[in-house]
Amino acid sequence: MRDWILMKIKITKGGTNISYRIDNTFLQIKNYNNFNHQINYELLSNFDFVPKLISNNQKEIVWEYVDGIEPVIDLNNINLIAKQIKQLHNSNLIFPNNNLKQRVQYYRTKMNELNTQVEVINKYASLIDQILDSMQFDTPLHNDLFPFNMIQTDNKIYFVDWEYATMGDKHFELAYLIETSNMSSECEKVFLDLYKDYDQHKLLLNKIFVNYIVILWIRTQTSAPYNTTFFEQKIINYVTKLTI
């Protein structure tokens, strides 16, 4: 028992669940909100860029532990990442129904309850609703492709933390990775050229939306002090491009 305890290492990365490394496994104690852990995790065995699922029940999920680093998204790895995203999007797997509209409404309500105000959240609320209405929820998405939800090893990049995966609009996933990785313009061009099948205007709309929902999440799901100025300015800059 003592040896087992010594090998149980708490992982502090991640803001929703409680996670541990136990020997060569990754244990996650599920902490449910209204939007996570709805996917059938067994579907992910279709992909060689997802760690092996060992067990899963209502309370916890256990994966093979992958020892690696959080990647910096750049020209050295964007080819592989684009290929894997394309493989996911073309898989025809059926994920849970999209819940972005519900998430936005929940976060807005939460902001009101917390009495926290951000000018762009109110100013562009109508635009965000229009963007949501224009989305096509017909593609299986990871939905949370921050670089910290990837693990880079010597020859692979794993996508992990699939708890928010749903059907959705592929432009959301593309914009999410570009924005959350702060991708360079050169890398973005290569990424989109590799992905190929996208609409530039829809991508721009989704870049606005991604920064909007990131602000909502930070303001309602993390502890003060908040600093969302960077994301607020990005929204303003992208909205300006809409009117050119």
Identify the pLDDT of residue 82: 99
171 touches 202 (CB < 8 A): yes
Q: Is the pLDDT confidence value at 31 over 90?
A: yes
In eight-state DSSP terms, residue 97 is: P
Between CA 141 and CA 165 the distance in angstroms is: 6
Question: Which pLDDT score is estimated for 20?
Answer: 92
The whole-model pTM stands at 0.93
CA distance linking residue 95 with residue 173, whole number of Å: 14
What are the tens digits of pLDDT across the range 190-212? 999 999 999 999 999 999 999 99
d(CA 104, CA 144): 15
Please provide the average confidence, as pLDDT, over all residues in the chain: 94
Report phi then psi at 182, rounded to 5.
50, 50
Pick the CATH number of 67-242 from 3.40.50.300, 3.30.70.330, 3.40.309.10, 3.90.1200.10: 3.90.1200.10
Per-residue pLDDT at 117 exceeds 70 = yes
Q: What is the pLDDT of residues 175-184, one digit of tens each?
A: 999 999 999 9
